[in-house]
Amino acid sequence: MVSLREVCGIIIFRWVPLIVLLCVSARAVDRSNFKTCEQSAFCKRQRELKPGRSPYRALLDTLELSDSRITLQLINDNNKVRLLLELYRLQGNMTRVKINELKPLKPRYEVPDVLISDPITETLSVVSQDENSLVLSLGGKDQRLIVSAQPFRLDIVEGPQVLVSLNSRGLLAFEHLRARKDTSISHKISSTVGSMWDSLKKEEDKPGMWEETFKSHTDSKPNGPSSISLDFSLPGVEHVYGIPEHADTLKLKNTDGSDPYRLYNLDVFQYELHNPMALYGAVPVLISHSTDRTMGIFWLNAAETWVDISSNTAGKMMFGKILDFVQVSSEAPQTDVRWISESGIIDVFIMLGPKPADVFTQYASLTGTQSFPPLTALAYHQCRWNYNDQEDVKSVDQGFDEHDIPYDFIWLDIEHADGKRYFTWDPSKFPQPKEMLQGLMDKRRKLVAIVDPHIRVDNGYKIHNEILSKNFYVKNKDGGDYEGWCWPGNSGYPDFTNPEMRAWWASKFAYEQYEGSMENQYVWNDMNEPSVFNGPEVTMHKDALHGGWEHRDVHNLYGLYVQKATADGLVERSGGVERPFVLTRAFFAGSQRYGAVWTGDNAAEWGHLKISIPMCLSLGLAGISFCGADVGGFFKHPSAELLVRWYQAGAYQPFFRAHAHIDTPRREPWLFGPENTALIREAIRQRYALLPYWYQLFYNAHRTGYPVVRPLWVEYPNDVATFSIEDEYLIGKDLLVHPVTDEGATAVTAYLPGKGEVWYDVHTFQKHDGEQSLYIPVTMSSIPVFQRGGSIICRKDRVRRSSSCMENDPYTLYAALNSQGSAEGELYIDDFHTFNFEKAKQFVHRHLSFSANTLSSRNLAPDSQFSTASWIEKIVIIGGSQPSSATLKNAESALEFEFDSTLAVLTLRKPGVNAAADWTVILR
Amino acid sequence: MTCLHLLLTLVFAVSLGTPVEIQRPRGVPLTKKPFYEENKPFTCLDGSRTIPFDRVNDDYCDCKDGSDEPGTAACPNGSFHCTNAGYRPMFIPSSRINDGICDCCDTTDEYNSGAKCENTCKELGLKERDVLQKMAEITKEGFLLKQQLIEEAKKGREEKQGKVTDMQENKKQLEEKVEALRTVKETAEQPEKEAKERHLKAWEEQKAAIRLEKDKAKMAEAFLELDDNADGFVSVSELQSHAELDPDADGTLTETEVQGLMGGAAQVDTSTFESVWTNIKDKYHSESQPEEPAPVETPPEEVKEPVVDNDSEPFPEDDISEEEDEDEDDEDDYHEDDDKVLPTVKTPEKSHEDGEAMLPYDPDTQTLIDAAQKARDDFEDSEKALREMDDQIRNIEKELSFDFGPDAEFTYLYSQCYELTTSEYIYRLCPFNRVSQKPKYGGSETNLGTWGSWSGPENNKYLVMKYEHGTGCWQGPNRSTTVKLTCGKETVVTSTSEPSRCEYLMEFTTPAVCQEPANMDLLPHGHEEL
């Protein structure tokens, strides 16, 4: 939900005539509310620094080598300030580079709680050393880390190839902490630090170092300048991706001549498409890809961050020791990336791939994998700001049954709470929440109620009083409780960076604490950037205090902590049994561990439908798989055509929720005439039938960190034609989806990748060759989806009114054969909602394979055990030939079959074996 | 799965009041039983294929139309029939079989899901009969009320039509009367006008004579005053002592200037003073009068100032001129008032100039004026009566033009208003007029729409009223209200809601939508109760 509407509401008391103008002009994003790099003092200072010879020199004689790391001092020859460089070789082909001040005036912030554990290190050994360089072995096949002393730079090479260079453009810049001039402290410092201070004094203050004003907001900057920057060069790379969240193309653009991509969690009202402005979440992970190698750069910093990307040619910046190792063609393309953050330290993980899957594994080993959601969370969600009251909830619920449309979750936005006091219910609209929840439970359905992190300042509100008495609120620069405007009016912001506060917050979700809540109620955290309507850039003042740290240091982490504390609460309330489901709008690296995200307040426009694909793909590359966009568009009123197309697209995106702004007309699926109702019903049914596949992919994402939905290049890394594709994508590796996202479309052109591969239209079973652009005529009912030849996908074709109702239903196997006549796939089953799959190994994981006319199911996890009532009701083999007989080997019984010779589709009737059993079917 | 063999069920069917057990495959309605003959091949109901009978309800979908699996969830498009003995039989989609949710009150849809369903058909049946009976009673009574409403509306309509006819007749007469009175008025106004003009002319002449005399007296007085040495001549030096006469207003009255005023003569006698008086009378200050407080330039400015101000403030001027006009037209009527008001409001010159009011009209003129005024009053009264008559006719015609339903049964709602008070608002429905909402604890009323049209379903548009074009919403549409009408004995707003922003929904009961009770059997019972 957005801020401006309420901003209007607030201002309206004072300037009634003015507000009309303000609101009407706010049809699209008001860019002047948000900073450009030019308006962000540190970004401006840093960007003024142009590539050139770095003033930094590595002091090789300070080298310290231990089992786990190497440290070295760097000195800036201009101001003599020393930095400490730490180098780590991490298990799984990663290098960690940390740079901090050797002796900072006070500690600089190092991001906690994002890494799942201390990364496991491997021995770094010195291969050679001379007066100006140090060569370290990274193991692997000829991987070296070369430290050049003057000017300081780092190069990671493999054999004769440079993989990545750091500070090769001389943009390492570290604004050391300093005392404010003309203060008594500065004199003390000068006497203790001595000569170093003299050189410091020569440094001139630049505008915005000690105070910065944006619009009417002044940032007091008591610690002065503290920004950091470092450049990375990627020879041979033309394609870089990631660093969500931006409403922009999948392939990142060159930012020469425009603003850098900005990472700063903000509540942006009616965001615009195709620009580098910051949005609600930030994951500082960039993925580079070429036919040779896929790599990643993870810049672990939670402060405001800007990322510049430019194209270059390799070889320009090669000199010194590095030339002993590598051969560089000066013609080779190169991508340069520069990271700039406002505070903290440089702590960067270079994930060396080399394959896309390796990078995912590497990143997952650092920040964890996607949480494994309960199955129901993968089904369809019906949301609106707001379902008005219990009666409304009931009638919408009935509407779905009357129109025979499945759904699992109905959602309540902020109006459900009593005066926006979260954890409470409006007594007149929701007098009997348990009765309502029980009604949903009787239908095996669920509810999500919003709980936002801003807390109404109201001494009649228990939550507020407890936070106050426990002193859990974020503080303003003067030490008082920080207050800002949000939905409830004047609000406090709990300090979620405080683990005690988070534990308290989690305890508030206990059934006896959260009155009226039940086990089929889940939670949604909105506005957790945090959104502060009257704050700078609609967020918190950077000089607000979280314990000893400034908001400046922790900003991008706040949303992650909110979701974490909430998810912890849901786990705790069930005694650790149930998997939680929490949706968040703000996020950071590691947020994948706590639930789902959505792309915020989009609009009912075709462009927003289109951009939902690259936005979620970018998030997936950065570890967050459980992503979706508001189906139908949040703002404005979609046409029936747009709504239908959005359902069709949304049904094939990981998080599938329709949502609408309070000022838009109602848009439940049956309000657009029977034809459109039927189209929407069909789209949602396709989702439900495919839930076993989604579930299995999420299980794998949870285990491995592989994204659930993937850009084509992830699976076809050598096919350059796929590198910029963002209007279609893969679900897992076996389904290719090209949703219709154009108004009035009569056809789409889909690129089917893979030389020698075949693809089958999942609706018609028509076969198409890979590595071609396929022209596909479409009607309003078309959702172009293709199954890869060589795959077996399990579906549940008995679609019922909620996913829970389908738990014990039988599976149909769709085996699409490749040109060798074989196929394989997986089937994953558990209880669909508890942690028992992990704690007690209660699950079924089968490998299904078809080759040489034999289809069999093999146990992938022999030490697991789970019994399911589900069985195999049908097997559809696509692209094979007609057998004379089909035998289920276990029972030695013949299976009846049908063969459609025009499409080469063989249907085996009712094998009837249990889905957890070993079985084999032999065709002759 | 294992227990999903062909299941033949015992079904209770209510037929002629006697439960009979009829065997047929699960989920098959009695009417379709003949198609499911045991131990004979089954042909899909769409005729698409024939399968062995043991594949009916074997939990695998063989027929495209789903007809081979009436009792399982195997077919995506199948339907399951529950008999619901004691209640109403119904079909549910196959997907609701064994989904863990009790859909059929006889529990037959959940035979293998572990769901604990209780047979609630009897209860539901009783409840439904109870509700139906109550509904029937309401409908019956409502329908009777409706008949009365129709009757009343019919009568009312006839009455009103009669009234309109009568009124139109009266209107014609009134129109004639107005015309007659207009002639009378115009006839009486002509002599009145002439007499008034005569009177005014005489008065003007008289006024001029008086003014002349006064001037002469003033001149003589001034001569005496100026002739300081009383030699019967006013000399240059005698005149020079009156500094206020300075023509160039430079503060000194020179000899040359005085000579100019005196037409070049050194002195003048009473007869030649007349020409000098003409030159000086506007500025001359009598020595016997006290000196004006502001010398030289202030008096003309004081006069000018209001004139300048009038440019920027047109309204005061308008007011003044209007009053002046009135003075001229209605001198007689407002004479007394004028005397009180004029000294403070009006420009002083006019009233002080002469200090006398116009003489009253002579009796003959006054008679003519009185006669004309009476004719005017009579004419205006009749015109007003005609206008009122027109309004009345228009109102009744407007009312008659409304669509009050096929039998005008909604007529009684016209010009009525019905209120419903919720926790926050008072909602007000004035049928065929408007819907509004007013905060309970102060605040202004919001228009939720004015009468638009009947907009019920095609078969009965009189079940829904639509009110449109209410107060606009921020970034949204104008408010509108849909009013759903249901049969009730009383005419009441029973609920209001806002399902979508600024789109309101109101439920309203009225006997006017009660349909004739279908079940005549219930009528005698109803009578007994009555």
Domain edges within chain A: 46-176+224-315+331-367, 714-923
In the predicted structure, residue B305 carries a pLDDT above the cut 60: no
pLDDT of residue B371: 87
Is the pLDDT assigned to residue B487 strictly greater than 50? yes
pLDDT at B12 over 60: no
Distance from CA of B55 to the nearest CA of A (A): 11
| Pick from A10-19, A404-413, A561-570, B205-214: least confident | A10-19
What would the mean pLDDT of B163-170 be, rounded to a whole number?
A: 89
DSSP state of A1: -
pLDDT of residue A499: 98
Q: What is the distance between the alpha carbons of residues A767 and A907, in angstroms, rounded to a whole number?
A: 17
Query: A664 and B99: CB-CB below 8 Å?
Result: no
Nearest chain B residue to A8 by CA distance is B474
pLDDT score recorded for residue B526? 35
Task: Indicate the pLDDT class of residue B345, thresholds 50, 70 and 90.
Answer: very low
Is position B351 within any domain?
A: no
Residues A734 and A818: their CA atoms lie apart, in Å, by: 12
Q: Which residue of A has its CA nearest to B503?
A: A665
pLDDT value, residue A20: 35
pLDDT tens digit sequence for A494-540: 999 999 999 999 999 999 999 999 999 999 999 999 999 999 999 99
With a pLDDT cut of 90, the percent of chain A lying above it is 89
Rounded Cα gap, residues A144 and A142, in angstroms: 6
Is B138 part of the contact surface with chain A (CB cutoff 8 Å)?
A: no
Structural domain count of chain B: 1
Q: Given CATH 3.40.50.300, say whether it is the number of domain A46-176+224-315+331-367.
A: no
Residue ranges making up the domain that contains B439: 411-510
CB contact set of A845 (below 8 Å; sequence gap of 6+): A699, A826, A827, A828, A829, A859, A860, A861, A864
pLDDT band at A691 (very low <50, low <70, confident <90, very high): very high
Q: With a CB-CB cutoff of 8 Å, which residues 485-514 of chain B face chain A?
A: 497-503
User: What is the reported pLDDT for A325?
Assistant: 73
Lowest-pLDDT range of A117-126, A513-522, A787-796, B241-250: B241-250
Instruction: Average the pLDDT over B110-120 and give the result.
Output: 93
Mean pLDDT value of segment A98-105: 97
Q: Give the residue from A409, A710, A741, A777 showing the smallest Cα distance to A581.
A: A409
B447, burial (CB in 10 Å: exposed 0-12, middle 13-18, buried 19+): middle
Mean pLDDT, residues A881-902 taken together? 93
Say if CB A609 and CB A645 are below 8 A apart: yes
Share of chain A above pLDDT 70, in %: 93
Q: What is the pLDDT, as a whole number, of residue A329?
A: 66
What's the pLDDT tens digit per position in A268-295?
999 999 999 999 999 999 999 999 999 9
* Residue B288: predicted pLDDT: 64
pLDDT value at residue B347: 38
Q: Give B-chain residues touching A393 at CB under 8 angstroms.
A: none
**Comparison of pLDDT for B17 and A710, the residue scoring more:** A710
| Residue ranges of chain A whose CB lies within 8 Å of a chain B CB | 8, 23, 388-389, 391-392, 404, 428, 442-444, 662-666, 797-801, 804-806, 808-810, 869, 871, 873-874, 909-910, 912
d(CA A242, CA A615): 9
Q: How many CA atoms lie within 13 A of B4 on its CB side?
A: 25
Q: How many residues does chain B have?
A: 530
Instruction: Provide the pLDDT confidence category of residue A7 given band limits of 50, 70 and 90.
Output: very low
Residue B501 located in a structural domain = yes
When mean pLDDT is compared across A493-507, A674-688, B443-457, the lowest value belongs to: B443-457
Residue B430, in any domain of the structure: yes
Residue of B nearest to A427 (CA): B423
Cα–Cα distance, A387 to A827 (Å, whole number): 37
- Spell out the residues 6+ positions from residue A506 whose beta carbon is closer than 8 angstroms to its own: A565, A566, A568, A569, A572
Contact call for residues B410 and B404 (beta carbons, < 8 A):
yes
Contact A443 B497 (CB under 8 A): no
B100–A869 C-beta distance less than 8 A: no
Q: Which pLDDT belongs to residue B252?
A: 76
Which residues are within 8 A (CB) of A51 and not within 5 positions of it... i.e. 6 or more apart?
A: A169, A170, A171, A231
Class of domain A714-923: mainly beta
d(CA A259, CA A274): 12
CB A265 within 8 A of CB A366: no
Closest by CA position to B74, among listed A106, A302, A782, A912: A912
- Please answer yes or no on whether A801 and B473 come within 8 Å at the CB atom: no
- Range name among A116-130, A746-760, B360-374 with the lowest pLDDT average: B360-374
pLDDT band (50, 70, 90) for residue A246: very high
* Whether pLDDT at B72 is above 60: yes
Residues A804-819, mean pLDDT to the nearest whole number: 97
Q: Is B493 contained in some domain?
A: yes
In angstroms, the separation between the Cα of residue A666 and the nearest Cα of chain B is: 6
Contacts of B55 (CB under 8 A, 6+ apart): B42, B62, B68
Average pLDDT of the residues in A691-701: 98
How far B113 CA sits from the closest chain A CA (Å)? 9
Given a cut of 80, is residue B308 above it in pLDDT?
no
B459 within some domain = yes
Residue A805: which of B101, B498, B500 has the nearest Cβ? Answer: B101
Residue B78 is assigned to a structural domain of this protein: no
Identify the CATH number of the domain in which residue B424 sits. Answer: 2.70.130.10
**Least CB–CB distance from A663: residue in B93, B100, B501:** B501
Q: What pLDDT, on the 0 to 100 scale, is given for residue A16?
A: 34
Q: Mean pLDDT across the stretch A675-694?
A: 98
ipTM of this complex prediction, to 2 decimal places: 0.90
Least confident of A195-199, A915-919, B183-187: A195-199
pLDDT of residue B207: 87
Cα torsion B521, B523, B527, B530: sign: positive
Q: What is the pLDDT of residues A163-213, one digit of tens each?
A: 999 999 999 999 999 998 765 444 444 444 444 444 454 567 788 899 999
pLDDT tens digits along A248-275: 999 999 999 999 999 999 999 999 999 9
- With CB atoms and an 8 Å threshold, state whether B96 touches A663: no
CA-nearest residue of chain A to B58? Answer: A910
Q: Is the pTM of this model over 0.90?
A: no
For A548, the token pair is 């000893």
Distance of alpha carbon A793 from alpha carbon A696, whole angstroms: 10
Cβ separation B499–A392 shorter than 8 A: yes
Catalytic residues of A: 526, 601
Task: Flag if B74 and A873 touch (Cβ within 8 Å).
Answer: yes
pLDDT digits (tens, 9 = 90+) for A707-722: 999 999 999 999 999 9
Residue B314 pLDDT level (bands cut at 50, 70, 90): very low
The CA distance from B56 to the nearest CA of chain A, in Å, is 14
Lowest-pLDDT choice from A374-388, B87-101, B257-271, B491-505: B257-271
A742: pLDDT strictly greater than 90: yes
Q: What is the mean pLDDT of residues A372-385?
A: 98
